[in-house]
C-alpha cells in the first residue's frame, strides 16, 4: 500500500450488498459489504485507517452502530462520514444506475 501524504486519501464505502455492488461497478476499490452483525466492527476498522478521508456508509449501517460510534461519525471531519439511503430502505430513492447516469453520464447495465 502506498503511503498517502497530507491532503490525500481514499474513499471507502460500507453497506449492504446492493450498495457495495453499485460502488464497485463505478470503480471504487475500498468497498466493504456488511451484515447487521458485522456492521459496527467493520465501520470501526474503517474509522481507524489513516489512509481513509471519506467514508460513505448506508443508513442500514448507521442503525447498527453504537451511540458513541454514531456521535463520533456525525462530528468527524477526518475521516468525513456521509450516510446515504440504504438501497433496500422503505422510502423511494434514486437507483444506483440512475444516479450513475445522472452524475457520471454513464449507463450501468447488469
What would the DSSP string read from start to end of 6-17? TT--EEEEEE-H
Q: Which domains, and CATH codes, for the chain? A: 10-104 (3.40.50.10580)
Question: In this predicted model, what pLDDT tens digit does every residue of 52-91 receive, in sequence order?
Answer: 999 999 999 999 999 999 999 988 889 999 999 877 664 4
The pLDDT of residue 103: 55
Cell readout for 19 is: 450498495
What would the DSSP string read from start to end of 53-85? EEEEEEHHHHHTS-HHHHHHHHH-BTTEEEEE-
pTM of the model: 0.72
The pLDDT of residue 85: 85
The pLDDT of residue 72: 93
% of the chain residues with pLDDT over 70: 74
Q: What residues does 17 pair with on adjacent strands?
A: none
Amino acid at each position: 500500500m502506498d503511503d498517502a501524504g497530507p491532503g490525500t486519501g481514499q474513499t471507502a464505502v460500507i453497506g449492504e450488498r446492493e450498495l457495495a455492488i453499485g460502488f464497485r461497478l463505478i470503480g471504487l476499490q475500498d468497498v466493504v459489504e456488511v451484515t447487521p452483525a458485522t456492521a459496527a466492527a467493520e465501520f470501526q476498522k474503517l474509522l481507524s485507517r489513516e489512509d481513509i478521508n471519506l467514508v460513505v456508509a448506508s443508513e442500514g449501517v448507521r442503525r447498527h452502530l453504537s451511540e458513541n460510534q454514531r456521535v463520533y461519525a456525525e462530528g468527524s471531519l477526518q475521516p468525513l462520514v456521509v450516510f446515504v439511503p440504504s438501497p433496500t430502505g422503505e422510502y423511494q430513492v434514486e437507483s444506483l444506475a440512475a444516479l450513475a447516469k445522472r452524475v457520471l453520464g454513464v449507463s450501468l447495465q447488469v
